[in-house]
Homo-oligomer: A and B are copies of this chain.
Amino acid sequence: MVKQNIKESIIQSAQTTFQKHGFKKTTMDEIAYAARKGKSTLYYYFESKEEVFQAVVEKEVMHLRDKIQKAISKTDSAREKLQVYIFTRMDGFQDFGNFYDALKDDYLADLVFIEKMRQQYDKNEIETITSIIKEGVLNKEFKNMNAALTAKTIVIAMKGLEFPVLQEKSKNVFKKEITDLLNILFYGICS
């Protein structure tokens, strides 16, 4: 097994343990045991517990990003892209044990790197949406507008959805909410 594979397997073990107990209550020994390595070995691959956690979160973010990209690539209109983006992102957010906890948990809130990741994720999200909107503006699907500003607004609205979505487990409940949001987003309420 090459170096990368081992690192990967450690991340995987860490992922399941973090998922079980959260960041704080997961010990390095536990992760090491799950990965069938000595604890010191973890420090050969990672500098700290935080770094391990960061790797886990990054993996999850990457996963969601891929999922979204895949879903988007199947569409052709910008309108569809936006729709699929929001649905996939809100949907995928539910699986996000660690990532979401990282954003929510008080203890973690203090950690600098979490805040950085949050911002980075937001930034990435805004960028992606911006480019979708720009595309839509170019091919006249959308009216002419400040794409970046609009993207920001959309992200804000999605944040409002995060909490209610994570409360209700059923996937069907929030579908309605998102559908409605999209309707307004596309057509507004003025006649």
Which A residues lie at the B interface, using CB under 8 A? 79, 106, 133, 136, 140-146, 149-150, 152-153, 156-161, 163-164, 176-177, 180-181, 184-191
Contacts and interface: CB of A to CB of B under 8 A. Distances in A.
Given A149-B176, A150-B184, 14 more contacts: A133-B189, A141-B190, A143-B190, A144-B191, A146-B180, A150-B180, A153-B184, A156-B157, A157-B157, A157-B160, A159-B159, A160-B161, A184-B188, A186-B189
Work out how many copies of this chain go into the complex: 2
Contact of A190 (B160, B187, B190): B187
A181 B185 CA distance: 10
A171 to B, nearest CB: 17
Contacts of A145: 189
B181 A186 contact: no
Contacts of A176: 149
Contact of A187 (B136, B141, B181, B188): B188
A86 to B, nearest CB: 13
B152 A189 contact: no
Contacts of A144: 191
Residue from the set A106, A133, A156, A185 with the largest chain B CB neighbour count within 10 Å: A156
Contacts of A149: 176, 180
Given A188-B187, A190-B79, A190-B186, A156 B142 contact: no
